[in-house]
Amino acid sequence: MRKKIAVLTGAGISAESGIKTFRDADGLWENHRIEDVATPEAFELNPLLVLDFYNQRRRQLLQCQPNSAHTALAMLEKDYDVTIITQNVDDLHERGGSTNIIHLHGQLLKSRSSKHEFPIYDQTTDIEIGDLCDKGTQLRPHIVWFGEAVPEIDRAIPVIQQCDILIVIGTSLMVYPAAGLVNYASYNAAKFLIDPHQLSLPCIPNLRFINATATEGMATLVTELL
């Protein structure tokens, strides 16, 4: 039987593709405080600012390419059943070739009504004030903002519980419920954490810390696993 690999990724895996991580040294995310752009309250108060912020992120994403860490994860599908659980809203895992991806925090290239969770639309262009869903309400990015539910966590938990190997890449493990997922892995599962700066490691058994960037760390790991 093929072994199961669960992968939990955060902003660090896309850093080498040119997308800034959230908790950079200045405490700002692309010059904004997170609460000014990534909460439902911010959208209510200043929808133009929030739409504009995500429009810029979307335009930036369309200029970026997956890096060799994304493609190495796709290569693992040759020998393993791989499920990617990502906190990232980019589509670089998809473009890197992975086929089984759970987006915990939504997707930048999708939109939805600001009143209802469904339907979800493909969105490759800017969202403007006045762009409406089928039912006539303003569109918003399909992003899970702070304070909102994370429905995909229910699909992610069993994937972690059942995995033989857990790979965690480029996440500060500071945002819940995503950060708590690592605790669902079984005692015997082999666990790898790739990060060039991880300061406080999660306290889980059988964890090997690979102190490297995503591309360097995945180059090492893929030769061991394949």
Catalytic option among 70, 105, 116, 197: 105
**Residue 12 CB, nearest distance to ligand OAD (Å)?**
2
Question: Residues 20-59 vs ligand OAD: string with x where CB under 6 A?
Answer: -xxx----------x---x---------------------
Instruction: Verify whether residue 105 is a known catalytic residue.
Output: yes
Q: Which stretch binds ligand OAD (CB under 6 A): 42-50, 94-102, 125-133, 171-179?
A: 171-179
Q: Is 214 in the site for ligand OAD (CB under 6 A)?
A: yes
Q: Is 11 in the site for ligand OAD (CB under 6 A)?
A: yes
List binders of ligand OAD among 178-207 (CB under 6 A). Answer: 195-198
**Residue 136 CB, nearest distance to ligand OAD (Å)?**
27
Using the CB atoms, write b or e for 33-56: b if 16+ within 10 Å.
Answer: ebebbbbeebbeeeeeebbbbbbe
Q: Which stretch binds ligand OAD (CB under 6 A): 77-85, 93-101, 124-132, 170-178?
A: 170-178
Question: Residues 109-138 vs ligand OAD: string with x where CB under 6 A?
Answer: ------------------------------
Give the residues lining the site for ligand OAD (CB under 6 A).
Answer: 10-12, 15-16, 21-23, 34, 38, 87, 105, 144, 170-172, 174-175, 195-198, 213-214
Q: So which residues are the catalytic ones?
A: 105
